[in-house]
């Protein structure tokens, strides 16, 4: 099953905040022998969020979504998920209990009494309104849950909350997928080479080894290292070993200068 990530928020696209979710999620997946297939950034525009979610709900991927599940005017993700599925929002009874518990705990910490029927506390319950049929994702940071529906997992935009929630989903729902496909990667740095010259070699390797992907990462170099291409193979371990041997032999035929990456 492919795994995707949707990151929602104007603050990312405007540059007010740098996205930390993508590199961290790749790290979280790699620790479990998984890898990310795609990622998408979306601003706080309801129509675009809905269309994005409609497309992803129509597929079979496992999709994680961060951002926009709060209860302020710029939070649209809960409503858009419901619209994309064609179902109403509904206050999840367990989410209501967790939110009220959080309100009570905060009041106790401040030495205050709490009125759960006060307008501001009733408004906070909107954070527990999820698409009808959704399940909860526990939030170890402050108890305010995320939600899951149709292989989609929605978490807040705050890394301190989102990352452990992502890990909980993977560990509790997809542990059977962990480390199923051993993958290795081998590469070299090829100096002063042109990708067009190396392309026939790369194509031949992928033709002979269907479980291997060839990659090339050009660099213009800097004061520490000359212009080069990181050229390598990744995929099924046994085929990678043979493909890497073929790659080195091909480079030797070109009299290419290269060193281990």
Quick one: pLDDT at residue 181? Answer: 81
CA distances from 79 to 14, 23, 32, 41 (A): 23, 27, 32, 18
Q: Residue 110: how many CB atoms within 10 A of its CB?
A: 9
Q: 3-class DSSP state for residue 157?
A: coil
Quick one: pLDDT at residue 209? Answer: 97
Q: 3-class DSSP state for residue 219?
A: strand
Structure tokens, 115:
């009125």
- Could you tell me the mean pLDDT of each successive run of 10 residues in the chain, 261 residues long? 95 95 97 96 98 98 97 96 98 98 94 94 96 98 97 97 98 96 92 94 97 96 94 96 98 96 93
Quick one: pLDDT at residue 183? Answer: 85
The answer, as to whether pTM is greater than 0.85, is yes
Helix (H) or strand (E) holding 40: strand 38-42
* pLDDT tens, position by position, 138-172: 999 999 999 999 999 999 999 999 999 999 999 99
Which domains, from first to last, does the chain contain?
Answer: 3-177 (3.40.980.10), 184-260 (3.30.70.600)
Contacts of 42 (CB under 8 A, 6+ apart): 6, 7, 8, 48, 49, 52
Beta-bridge partners for 191: 228, 257
Contacts of 146 (CB under 8 A, 6+ apart): 69, 136, 137, 139, 153, 154, 155, 156, 165
Quick one: pLDDT at residue 182? Answer: 84
Burial (CB count within 10 angstroms: exposed 0-12, middle 13-18, buried 19+), residue 261: middle
């Amino acid at each position: 099953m492919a795994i995707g990530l949707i990151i929602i928020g104007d603050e990312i696209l405007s540059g007010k905040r740098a996205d930390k979710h993508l590199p961290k999620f790749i790290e979280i997946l790699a620790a479990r022998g998984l890898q990310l297939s795609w990622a998408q950034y979306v601003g706080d525009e309801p129509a675009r969020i809905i269309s994005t979610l409609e497309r992803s709900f129509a597929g079979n991927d496992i999709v994680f979504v961060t951002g926009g599940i709060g209860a302020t005017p710029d939070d649209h993700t809960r409503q858009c998920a419901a619209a994309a599925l064609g179902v109403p929002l509904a206050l999840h009874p367990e989410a209501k209990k967790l939110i009220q518990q959080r309100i009570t705990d905060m009041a106790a910490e401040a030495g205050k009494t709490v009125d759960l029927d006060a307008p501001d506390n009733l408004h906070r319950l909107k954070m527990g309104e999820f698409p009808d049929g959704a399940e909860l994702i526990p939030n170890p940071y402050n108890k305010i849950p995320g939600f899951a529906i149709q292989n989609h997992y929605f978490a807040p935009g705050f890394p301190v909350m989102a990352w452990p929630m992502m890990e909980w989903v993977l560990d509790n729902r997809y542990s059977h997928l962990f480390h199923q496909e051993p993958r290795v990667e081998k590469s070299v740095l090829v100096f002063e080479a042109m990708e067009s010259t190396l392309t026939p070699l790369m194509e031949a390797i992928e033709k002979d080894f269907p479980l291997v992907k060839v990659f090339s990462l050009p660099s213009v170099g800097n004061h520490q290292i000359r212009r080069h291409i990181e050229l390598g193979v990744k995929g099924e371990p046994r085929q990678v070993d043979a493909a890497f041997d073929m790659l080195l032999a091909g480079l030797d035929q070109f009299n290419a200068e290269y060193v281990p990456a």
